[in-house]
């Protein structure tokens, strides 16, 4: 079974766990907004507003949200920017839920969700050259074995001057974990339980985007120098550790592995922005 197929099947079960605990939005929030005491959703949406600004999205623009999950961020960004979004992922169960959300929120004229084949991310072949104003990703590229191919495909489908902006799970040296072997020792449970092909680093993402042809304008560890406990409110932990839905034990163990990597400091989240030169 390919890694991409494993990811697709992972989300058949993860959707029950994630929706019951996180609702429609499954990515980390802006740490400063969380520190101000905003709810997880409000702080995540504040980050989405920053992403919209970094992407330079204007009313009427066309953008792709790659790995759109159940669509929470896609609908919100389309609303905030008054622009049009296509959300893509490789799991039809997620896309169907995202479509229902768009319908329920009255946004189905602005956002469309499609399911693509497991390896279509390497070419994004359904899109002609230079057709989009922006490509956005939230914590989806981390799943891909061939991340560099995705960045090349994103470059191809963007208009000159178009931007790619995204947030993703990363690994890094921290404290006593300095060598690749030590880092992997502390984070490999996350790869296993969350079906992450491999965790990149801030530098590796910058390199892949640059090699694809982009001018990278932002490549930042959102938790520079501190452990990444973003979007893990203590009050929410029992919902994870006592989760009893489909494959409950798997998701409980996953939470333990992720918290261990957060505590070791080797897990973090990065924010990226880059432009296709006009
Ligand atoms: C952690 S979820 C993030 C969902 C959404 N971006 C959010 O933050 O709420 C990861 C998303 O990446 C998608 N994904 C993973 N591998 C993929 C692939 N090979 N092709 C397309 N989508 C993929 C999953 O289907 C899922 O929608």
Residue 234 has pLDDT above 90, yes or no: no
Our mutation pick for probing the ligand 1 site, out of 90, 97, 144, counting the most ligand atoms within 8 A of Cβ, is 90
**Is the shortest distance between the CB of 4 and ligand 1 below 6 Å?**
yes
Neighbours of 123 (CB within 10 A): 14
Whether 151 and 208 have beta carbons less than 8 Å apart is answered as: yes
Q: What is the atom index within ligand 1 of the atom nearest the CA of 66? A: 22
- For 117-128, the pLDDT digits (tens) are 999 999 999 999
**Is the shortest distance between the CB of 149 and ligand 1 below 6 Å?**
no
pLDDT of residue 261: 98
- For 28-49, the pLDDT digits (tens) are 999 999 999 999 999 999 999 9
**Is the shortest distance between the CB of 231 and ligand 1 below 6 Å?**
no
Specify the residue with its C-alpha closest to ligand 1, atom 17. Answer: 90
Sign of the C-alpha dihedral computed for residues 228, 189, 88 and 233 taken in this order = negative
Domains in the chain, number: 1
Domain of 30: which CATH number?
3.40.50.150
C-alpha–C-alpha distance, residues 113 and 101, integer Å = 10
DSSP secondary structure code for residue 264 in this structure: H
Ligand 1 center from residue 175 Cα (angstroms): 31
Prediction pTM value? 0.98
**Is the shortest distance between the CB of 166 and ligand 1 below 6 Å?**
no
- For 135-176, the pLDDT digits (tens) are 999 999 999 999 999 999 999 999 999 999 999 999 999 999
Question: Domain containing 230: what range?
Answer: 3-275
- For 5-15, the pLDDT digits (tens) are 999 999 999 99
CA distances from 88 to 118, 229, 264 (A): 11, 28, 33
């Amino acid at each position: 079974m390919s890694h991409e197929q494993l990811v697709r099947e992972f989300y058949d079960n993860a959707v029950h766990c994630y929706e019951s605990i996180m609702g429609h939005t499954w990515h980390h929030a802006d740490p400063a907004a969380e520190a101000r005491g905003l709810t997880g959703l409000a702080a995540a949406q504040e980050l989405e507003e920053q992403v919209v600004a970094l992407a330079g999205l204007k009313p009427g623009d066309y953008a792709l949200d790659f790995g759109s999950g159940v669509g929470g961020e896609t609908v919100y960004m389309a609303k905030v920017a008054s622009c049009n979004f296509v959300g893509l992922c490789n799991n039809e169960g997620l896309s169907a839920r995202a479509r229902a959300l768009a319908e329920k929120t009255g946004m189905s004229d602005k956002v469309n969700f499609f399911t693509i084949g497991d390896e279509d991310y390497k070419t994004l072949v359904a899109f002609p050259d230079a057709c989009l104003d922006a490509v956005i990703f939230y914590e989806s590229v981390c799943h891909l074995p061939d991340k560099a191919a995705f960045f090349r495909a994103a470059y191809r489908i963007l208009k000159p001057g178009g931007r790619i902006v995204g947030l993703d799970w990363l690994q890094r040296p921290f404290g006593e974990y300095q060598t690749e072997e030590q880092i992997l020792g502390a984070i490999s449970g996350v790869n296993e339980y969350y079906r992450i092909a491999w965790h990149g680093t801030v530098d590796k993402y910058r390199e892949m985007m640059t090699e694809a042809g982009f001018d990278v304008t932002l490549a930042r560890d959102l938790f520079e120098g501190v452990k990444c406990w973003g979007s893990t409110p203590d009050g929410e932990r029992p919902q994870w550790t006592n989760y009893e839905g489909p494959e409950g034990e798997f998701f409980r163990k996953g939470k333990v592995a992720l918290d261990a990597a957060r505590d070791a400091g080797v897990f973090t989240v990065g924010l990226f922005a880059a432009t296709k030169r006009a």
